[in-house]
Chains A and B, each alone.
Chain A
Amino acid sequence: MSVEVLKTKAEQGLADQFTAARSGLPGAGNAWAEGLRDAAWETYRSAGLPHRRIEEWKYTDLRALLRDAYPPAPALTEALTRDDISAALGPALAALDCHRLVVVNGQLRLELSDAGGLEGKGELLSLGDALGDPSDWLKQTLAQANPPRNDTVVALNTALMTGGAALRIADNVKLNKPVHIVHMLTSREAASVTTRNVVVVGAGAKVTLLESYVSHGTAPAQRNAVTELVAGDGSRVHHIKFQNENLETAHLTSWMTRLGADVTYDAFQFSLGARLARNQIFVAFAGEGSRSHVSGAVLARGRQHNDTTMVIDHGVPACESREFNKLVLDGSARGIVQCKAIVRKDAQKTDGHQMARALMLSEAAEFDSKPELEIFADDVVCGHGSTSGQVDEEHLFYLRARGIPEPQARALLIAAFIGEAIEKVENESIREAFLNFTGSWLAGEGA
């Protein structure tokens, strides 16, 4: 039976990796960590990589898209300098005034980070180290925050994770500067990396968390990254992702978030890079009166494949959710937005809305959208919308009639289109950086 399940070369390669690495993975010897890994491994082993017959992966068939399983990137590499990191981030984000945590090839590297300002604000651990001797809060959070059922990509992450940041912000701490977790992969050969961040935000605390995913070099890569986040009652969290990995990268990320009562959770994901990107976002409401706004902007061209899949789970009454995604698709790029809002029986007074809009610049671009509502409570207001189309010829005409040449007019309209999403980013420096990236993308640079 199990022999048949793992059919492809990549699936078998991952199995071999786990067998070979199991005893050397962080946390080996610790019963709790080993138990987590083995249970997760069983989930993967019984299902294999997700394929198009799995409803949630209908548009992103990993069995077909992942040919090989690349070997794990070596933990210790040749010297990577701060300049390399700045170059990979680009000047605007490199200059960001922040608490910077740098994760290279799956390990938190404090010597490259600027985490001094976090002292006394909570606790920062290297997950790889912490797995061997886990604290209570880590045990309560890891693989517990809002685990999706039977998601084999998340299961693979739990089985193979090598490290990342484990960060706890103490109650009522308000961080003025964003925490910036920079994920870098550096390797000359094709390599894979499996990272995990665990973030616990205390009650009444306030934090802006930016995660950047960038490449050093052009070697093919496979990334499986998970961030688990638990937001305590009354906290305020801005959670932002910037993804600009090289075009040989398969980028799989999953955010699993659980919100307490009266939380304000504003999330934003900006995707430019990667050949294949799957952005999974799972948000669960566990306390009343919270709101979650998840937005995203995707710029894709060439043969890029970008899939954003969200599950927003209203398990308690009186919460508000908004999902707003915009995509610009050029070349033969394929954009996908799947968003499922679940309103459970007791979640009365739920207010949920989602919208996905795609702008298609070329004949061969493709947009697939599945805005899903699953509602079991009657006193709710839910809605969703999805649109796709080209640049409006009338708008174009309007601008040209005012003397703006067509290419500029077109760029202006596209920038305005995507700008509506980027404006959701509250932090001004980050927002400006994203607008800059959009400008260069439109000028044909970048990804």
Chain B
Amino acid sequence: MAAVQETVEHVKEMEADKYKYGFETDIETVKAPKGLNEDIVRFISKKKDEPAWMLEWRLDAFQRWLTMDEPKWSRVHYPKIDFQDLYYYAAPKSAEGPKSLDEVDPELLETYKKLGIPLKEQEILAGVRKMDEPSQLDEAAGGEYGSGRVAIDAVFDSVSVVTTFKKELAKAGVIFCPMSEAVREYPELVQKYLGSVVPVSDNFYATLNSAVFSDGSFVYIPEGVRCPMELSTYFRINEKQTGQFERTLIIADKGSYVSYLEGCTAPMRDENQLHAAVVELIALDDAEIKYSTVQNWYPGDKNGVGGVYNFVTKRGDCRGKNSKISWTQVETGSAITWKYPSCILRGDNSVGEFYSIAISNGYQQVDSGTKMIHLGKNTTSRIISKGIAAGHSDNTYRGLVSAHRKATGARNFTACDSLLIGSQCGAHTIPYIEAKNSSATFEHEATTSKISEDQLFYCQARGMNEEEAVALIVNGFVREVIQKLPMEFMAETQRLIGISLEGSVG
């Protein structure tokens, strides 16, 4: 009940367009000229002070990208993107390598305050701002924040602006830093793993990302270490007509564990912004990576104008035996979502999991799902997907489960359920199930239905209005997935669901 009331209150606070993160922060930025060519790639590389091998890698990707076509197979429709009409690099001026939090533009910190995401990010960032000597935070943090501590890497437009708790993480041997820093500081790790899960020419957007990625997070958890806190990246697109191309690389060495959260927002704009990220996860023997996303990019206004195009390639490689990768995602934003967080189950006995809530309202189009590729013996995977379509939106689940010849004893369970709210939306399910090994046991089930009149009546008979009732029922529908989220995200997600569905009833 508490969650429902919160939702309702929250909705009341909202403005006509219902997107609370739609403010723009007035910060001076450094931008590269519009358009994409080899010089821009060189410019980005130079700005980042990258070694020659990195530039080579980018240029190679750029050359390949020129020969590729945009994928057309997904169930999303949008006007052709003019890739020459975008800025490929925008950085807040003050963000050029802040040595301490003092150097962080106060405007930026104000932005985080406005974002009001009740993640620990906001809380901690606000705390940081009040402190006179933020550098002490790292040392002093120990007892103060207890178990709910989160280390954050904030990415603003294209650049990582601040990373917290660095020192304490370093004590545990954990490396958590902006990608650009990792390229300079840990070239041997980056060279070994970058592009090893999502190859340079994997797909059109991944290749584009490889050429122009500007920043992102790099995480390395050494052998046997359980990361002492949640790691988190917060992404925001601010600048007009920019594309955000971040690159995240997480390596969990033997026997380690890490939980990583990712949150995204963007200001309201008429024109569409492009987000084409690549995330690569590598889990070695006995390691576990838990990756959670709350994606709330600007979805466009109620007439479907504007919004973020979210074309993301996320893939995890369970490279070692007994490793585990778990994706949890809550997708409520973006005008267009095209993303399929996947697991390659290479190591014997490895485990892949995918828990997803995808909510679409207004004119949003979602084509999302997962791939579970069973290569090793006795690998198991589990997919729970909950799609909710309202308004004029289209919500598609597209997934692949495959067992290769040698994947004896592979097991998969998939449940993908869709809920339809209103008669103008569409919900689609397109699973591909390919068993090339007879000992593979695959089970797949899916349902599509609307909220039953009985359930609504029951709630309404108990004094709830229709909107509250819908929010309650939907929260029940997605509970299975919400429970997989880290504590910090749970309450936020429940509220987000209420907001996303606002206006879908009656």
Report A61-73 CB contacts with B as 1/0, cut-off 8 Å: 0000000000000
Contact among B405, B428, B441 for A372, CB-based, below 8 A: B428
A189: Cβ under 8 A from any B Cβ: no
Give the secondary structure class of A's interface: strand
- The minimal Cβ–Cβ distance linking A338 to chain B, given in whole angstroms, is 9
With A380-B449, A384-B445, A386-B431 known as contacts, the answer to whether A363 contacts B425 (CB < 8 A) is no
- Measured between beta carbons, the chain A residues less than 8 angstroms from B443 are 385-387
A440: Cβ under 8 A from any B Cβ: no
Report A351-382 CB contacts with B as 1/0, cut-off 8 Å: 00000001011111111111111111111111
A7: Cβ under 8 A from any B Cβ: no
What class of interface size applies to chain A in its complex with B? 35 or more
- Measured between beta carbons, the chain B residues less than 8 angstroms from A368 are 432-435
B418: Cβ under 8 A from any A Cβ: yes
B460: Cβ under 8 A from any A Cβ: no
Report B422-437 CB contacts with A as 1/0, cut-off 8 Å: 1101111111111111
Contact among A370, A374, A376 for B433, CB-based, below 8 A: A370
Contact among B425, B426, B441, B446 for A384, CB-based, below 8 A: B446
Bound CA–CA A44/B382 (angstroms): 42
Would A388 and B440 count as touching, CB distance under 8 A?
A: yes
Contact among A329, A381, A390 for B439, CB-based, below 8 A: A390
Bound CA–CA A344/B425 (angstroms): 11
- Measured between beta carbons, the chain A residues less than 8 angstroms from B421 are 378
Q: Of all chain A residues, which has the CB nearest B443?
A: A387
- The minimal Cβ–Cβ distance linking B370 to chain A, given in whole angstroms, is 15
Would A379 and B450 count as touching, CB distance under 8 A?
A: yes
B84: Cβ under 8 A from any A Cβ: no
A389: Cβ under 8 A from any B Cβ: yes
Would A373 and B438 count as touching, CB distance under 8 A?
A: no
A345: Cβ under 8 A from any B Cβ: yes
Q: Of all chain B residues, which has the CB nearest A384?
A: B446
- Measured between beta carbons, the chain B residues less than 8 angstroms from A369 are 431-434, 444
Contact among A366, A371, A375 for B436, CB-based, below 8 A: A366
- The minimal Cβ–Cβ distance linking B324 to chain A, given in whole angstroms, is 23
With A55-B73, A375-B426, A378-B420 known as contacts, the answer to whether A388 contacts B442 (CB < 8 A) is yes
B447: Cβ under 8 A from any A Cβ: yes
- Measured between beta carbons, the chain A residues less than 8 angstroms from B446 are 371, 373, 383-385
Bound CA–CA A369/B435 (angstroms): 9
- Measured between beta carbons, the chain B residues less than 8 angstroms from A365 are 438
Would B447 and A375 count as touching, CB distance under 8 A?
A: no
Q: Of all chain A residues, which has the CB nearest B411?
A: A389
B5: Cβ under 8 A from any A Cβ: no
Would A383 and B440 count as touching, CB distance under 8 A?
A: no
- Measured between beta carbons, the chain B residues less than 8 angstroms from A379 are 423, 450
B448: Cβ under 8 A from any A Cβ: yes
Q: Of all chain B residues, which has the CB nearest A55?
A: B73
- The minimal Cβ–Cβ distance linking B340 to chain A, given in whole angstroms, is 16
- Measured between beta carbons, the chain A residues less than 8 angstroms from B427 are 373, 375
- Measured between beta carbons, the chain B residues less than 8 angstroms from A329 are 438
Would B447 and A382 count as touching, CB distance under 8 A?
A: yes
- The minimal Cβ–Cβ distance linking A374 to chain B, given in whole angstroms, is 5
Q: Of all chain B residues, which has the CB nearest A383?
A: B447
- Measured between beta carbons, the chain A residues less than 8 angstroms from B430 are 370, 372-373
What are 15 sample pairs from A and B whose C-beta atoms fall under 8 A apart? Answer: A358-B435, A360-B438, A362-B438, A369-B434, A371-B444, A375-B418, A375-B426, A378-B423, A379-B423, A380-B420, A381-B447, A381-B448, A381-B449, A383-B448, A389-B441
Binding site for A on B (CB under 8 A): 73, 405, 418, 420-423, 425-450
Q: A368-B432, A380-B450, A384-B429 are in contact. List 10 more A-B contacts (CB 8 A).
A: A360-B440, A362-B438, A363-B437, A366-B435, A369-B434, A371-B433, A371-B446, A384-B444, A388-B441, A389-B440
